[in-house]
Amino acid sequence: MKRDCININGVILHSDRGVQYQNIANKNNIVISMGRTGVCYVNVVIESLHSLLKKGTIYNNKTIINSISRIPNTS
């Protein structure tokens, strides 16, 4: 199976502290965003966003997709 080339330049991966994710991210020059060990509160915002993304893409919910597109870029 041929994979399409995707530009991942500047991608930020929010992950747990799994070594497999860290290794893949480092090999591909992906910035890793993760909280301190044992601090679950930093995941609340990103997990909510992941939920919205899933609902918007998997279920093709137009209202959610439009809401996500209006989230301001704070970087």
Q: Would you state the pLDDT for residue 32?
A: 76
Q: Which residues have CB under 8 Å from 32's CB, separation 6+?
A: 12, 13, 15, 21, 22, 25, 26
Q: What is the pLDDT along the chain (75 residues), one digit of tens a residue?
A: 455 667 777 777 666 667 777 788 888 787 777 766 666 666 677 777 777 777 766 666 666 666 666 666 655
Please report, for the chain, the start and end positions of each structural domain, with discontinuous segments joined by +. 1-34, 37-75
Q: Would you state the pLDDT for residue 42?
A: 64
Q: Which two tokens stand for residue 50?
A: 């992941």
Q: Would you state the pLDDT for residue 75?
A: 54
